[in-house]
Amino acid sequence: MQNKGLIRFFAIIFGLVCLYQLSFTYFTNKTEDEAKAYAISQAPEDADMQDVVERAYLDSIGANPIFAGITYNDAKEKELNKGLDLKGGINVILQISIRDILGGLSNNSTDPAFIAALDATDEAQKDSQNTYFEDFVSAFEAQGGQLASPDIFANVILNEKVDTGMSNAEVASVLETEIKETIGSAFETLRNRIDKFGVTQPNIQSLGDNGRILVELPGAKDIDRVRGLLEKTAQLEFYQTHYAGDALNYLIGANETLRGLVASNEEKQEAAVAQDSTLDDNVSDLLKDADEEEAEQDFGPLFKIFSPNQLAVQNSATPTIGFAAVKDTATINSYLRNPSVIKQRPATLRYAKFAWGVPEEEGADIVALYALESNRQGAPYMDGDVVNDSRQQFTQTQQPAVGLDFEGQGVNQWAKMTREVAQKGNAIAIALDGNVYSAASARQEIKGGATEISGNFTVAGAQDLATVLNAGRLPASAKIIQAEEIGPSLGKEAIDSGILSFLIALALVLVWMVFYYGKAGGFADIALVVNILFIFGVLAGLGAVLTLPGIAGIVLTIGMSVDANVLIFERIKEELRKGKSQKDAIKDGFNNALSSILDANITTFLTALILFLFGTGPVQGFATTLMIGIATSLFCAIFITRLFIDGYGKNGKSLEFATSMTKGLFVNNNIDFLGKRKIAYAISGVLIVGGLAALLTGGLDTGIDFVGGRTYTVRFDQPMNAQEVEDALVADFGSADVKTFGADNQLKITTKYRIDETGTDIDAQVEQQLFTSLTPYLPTGMTYAAFAKSTDDKQVGKMEYYMVGPTIADDIKKGALFAVIGSLIVVFLYILLRFRRWQFSLGAVAAVFHDVLLVLGVFAVLKNIMPFDMEVDQNFIAAILTVIGYSLNDTVVVFDRIREYIKEHGSTRGFGKLINQALNSTLSRTLNTSVTTLIVLLAIFFLGAPSIRGLMFALIVGVIVGTYSSLFIATPVMFDTVQKKGLKEEKEEEEVEA
């Protein structure tokens, strides 16, 4: 090897750079451990206060040097980022409503064709791969309308950009630009909010042109607070309130009207029940008794779930009409929207808007109802555009509040509003996104353009409200369509299990290499350790995020990276058996192995690249580490190992590439692989048919990534019966699947209940209902707040949450399909380019299809048998693509040896014999690589986190069938196709001669 000095210099420099990059992580962790210890000493019993103290400690020392002039703030920016599954936090995909944007650009047009096109687009988006705007244009043009109509987009908002003479295509171009600008504005607004929230290492990025924005906040603990911060549109409005006494009198009459309406519906339902001939008489008697008992205490439909404010009876000017539970607000809203009820409104309440307040205390579920003065268009007295600045402050009684400063016309509007309220004796309601935060009276006119919102705030709530107001309102509503929440305690457990599996897998591989190759294996071990240093250093330097699947990718790289060393050592052993000197054998061994190493790693790299392009989140982390590991392992195997081997042998020292126990293994093999191909075809055929039968009859256990749904990981203080819990949840939710997840006191609960509805309020209601259903199994006295809140040492309650909306689930499913198909096409073309024969590509792709079908079949057959989660999700697709890469890795090495033998012999005469010889000569390498890879995978499978156990099982099955297929499927298929072509050519030559 030439330029050894340069390579040695580069390796040392690169190693030092990697150590430098990783030093930031060391100093950051050291400082944060000190901060945590200080916080515990200051507030040993209060976890919430510990978080506050820890944050304050880090803020106070952030600019102080901690080592060689490096500050904590500097180190934090450059540390190795940990993903949600290792640190806890929240990862969401927000959907900015393109419908809202189009509605705003149309000046809220009510044109029937426009509304119909929007409704049709909403329906089409459920299974469409087009953007929302593309489907909207198609839906609108299908009705033959004109986008440039004065009733739609030729309005005052777009008067300088759209005129009535423009075609639909011209207007669409303008709208597309406006939509992109609006999404960009929403992106900046969200980024400003997140920056002010104070989460370290946030990640926010726009996903394509369909208004989707990814937000990752590792380390965030107050999940509900984060979700509210992201989804608030910051629609700040100021209303005058109606007198509660007037509104209450109206509701009393409405209740009587509803009594008749609801009773009529109940009679229809009873009549339907009476027609059911299977209804048992005893059940009928029970229903009758229940009806009679209820009639004795009949408050009416409305007042059964709504409690009037008694103060409103005594003082009609008070703003609060009454109270209701959060879960009943939707029903009450439907009552108030009933046409018969609306007709009863008196003139004073004709345009009133009924709005709910916010809970008075964290975790409370009771809210107040207000009647807000408005006009025919539902406009407020003032809107939030006139607010210049907002800040968190305290009232005179030291209660958290939000201070507001008005600007421009807002100063005069506020003075006028407070003067009117002081005269009328009603109140000013301050509403954010439709919820009333404060409803206070004014004793006199307030001049100067300043006020204070003093509702029932916590300090954090006041800070968040000030943050969203300062960052600006979102130009359209934002709904969370995919979310992942992981508690910090679960993240800590994942780190511990990941490190343990990593160390054990590394130790086993190091021992195996020394056992099999002796001192040469020791040199390979050194190169492997250097390779790991390089991987982590590159990850830190690139600012990549380390995830649990990422750790799995690194550990898998350990198993696969020894493949290059195994190839080299086996080729050196072959050269030594030919009688060459050690120096020449080493030189020729490295040179001869280079082609196989490059081909095998390039095919694996291509599949990892496709996985990175089509995957999201942790799957991308897996692909990233796999690609980095492939690149660094190539360098270490080809150059670092060579440096040590050449250095050892330069003084004439003899270097054995085997030990006394392995020296004679796999030497002079003479297995007739091709002769057994028909048996192999039959075995594979039976297995594939059995797997396909299982797939067609029972299918796969499809995860919510592909069908949508909500998944909760819940831990209990006792072993749980999953079937018992599932039966209880099905009774409440109608849809539930419960499995033991990891330990026997931890369950994975999946449901599609209300998955078509999105929003923080819906998620909260579903989670509250889950808590209620699980209460009999939880510790006595456990509150919902304790169940849901994330803490560093949490042992019981919700540990993890994952939600995928149906629309994005369809996109994920199609993206996964494209990834698999794309990888097959790319690999087929690469092998065709490298080997110049389509038969080689056909054999490789046939083996890949064989392996994928067998893995799918195993999962279909064992999905209800194995004691761990075998869902088919994005991680499973990552496993499938990795299996494809591994299978090709094995196959390409064999094909490379066949190509070498063909070049040596110069003809296809005795082709079958050459193939058998190639398979026998690579058998040692094939089995060695499989053994080391399986050692690694088994270590992660048994010791790693439960969340990646299914991924590891798929890889284990894939390695086994991939090793088998490279010997008994890929090469025989290639041989049969070449043989048929050769026989056909011989026959044609004979016919020509005749």
Question: Is the model's pLDDT at 635 over the cut of 70?
Answer: yes
389: left (phi over 0), alpha (psi -120 to 50) or beta: beta
Q: How far apart are CA 908 and CA 219, in angstroms?
A: 62
Question: Is the model's pLDDT at 988 over the cut of 60?
Answer: no
If one compares 822 and 297, the residue with the highest pLDDT of the two is 822
Q: Name the helix (H) or strand (E) containing 135.
A: helix 132-142
Question: Is the model's pLDDT at 283 over the cut of 80?
Answer: no
Q: What is the pLDDT of residues 188-198, one digit of tens each?
A: 777 777 766 65
Q: How far apart are CA 131 and CA 112, in angstroms?
A: 22
Q: Confidence class of residue 200 from pLDDT cuts 50, 70 and 90? A: low
Q: Give one DSSP letter per residue of 159-209, joined into a string.
A: TTT--TT--HHHHHHHHHHHHHHHHHHHHHHHHHHHHHHT-SS-EEEEETT
How large is the average pLDDT for residues 60-71?
82
Q: Given this model, what pLDDT does residue 778 score?
A: 93
Its pTM stands at 0.68
Q: Name the helix (H) or strand (E) containing 816.
A: helix 806-835
Give the whole-number percent of the chain exceeding pLDDT 90.
Answer: 10
Which pair of tokens denotes residue 931? 């053994």
Among 531, 545, 708, CA closest to 617:
545
Q: Confidence class of residue 110 from pLDDT cuts 50, 70 and 90? A: confident
Please state at what angle helix 548-577 crosses helix 519-542, rounded to 10 degrees: 150
Q: Is the dihedral of CA 31, 32, 34, 38 positive or negative?
A: positive
Which pair of tokens denotes residue 266? 């109940």
Q: Given this model, what pLDDT does residue 275 score?
A: 43
Query: What letter represents residue 811's amino acid?
Result: D
Q: Given this model, what pLDDT does residue 934 score?
A: 86
Question: Is the model's pLDDT at 771 over the cut of 80?
Answer: yes
Q: Given this model, what pLDDT does residue 180 score?
A: 87
Q: Given this model, what pLDDT does residue 716 score?
A: 93
How large is the average pLDDT for residues 853-879?
84
Compute the residue count for the chain.
994
Q: Confidence class of residue 533 from pLDDT cuts 50, 70 and 90? A: very high
Q: How far apart are CA 923 and CA 910, in angstroms?
A: 20
Question: Is the model's pLDDT at 152 over the cut of 80?
Answer: yes
Top mean-pLDDT range of 274-278, 624-628, 903-907? 624-628
- Residue 673: how many other CB atoms lie within 10 Å: 21
Phi, psi of 358 (to 5 degrees): -115, 155
How crowded is the C-beta side of 834, counted as CA atoms within 13 Å?
24
Which pair of tokens denotes residue 842? 């056909």
Assess contact for 461 and 263: CB atoms under 8 A: no
Q: How far apart are CA 195 and CA 467, in angstroms?
A: 10
Q: How far apart are CA 258 and CA 305, in angstroms?
A: 13
Average pLDDT, whole number, for the chain? 81
If one compares 972 and 214, the residue with the highest pLDDT of the two is 972
Q: What is the pLDDT of residues 358-416, one digit of tens each?
A: 887 656 678 899 999 998 878 899 887 788 878 888 888 888 888 888 888 888 888 89
Assess contact for 285 and 294: CB atoms under 8 A: no
Q: What is the pLDDT of residues 774-830, one digit of tens each?
A: 999 999 889 888 898 877 778 899 988 888 877 676 777 777 777 778 777 887 788
Q: Is the dihedral of CA 831, 832, 835, 838 positive or negative?
A: positive
Q: Given this model, what pLDDT does residue 616 score?
A: 65
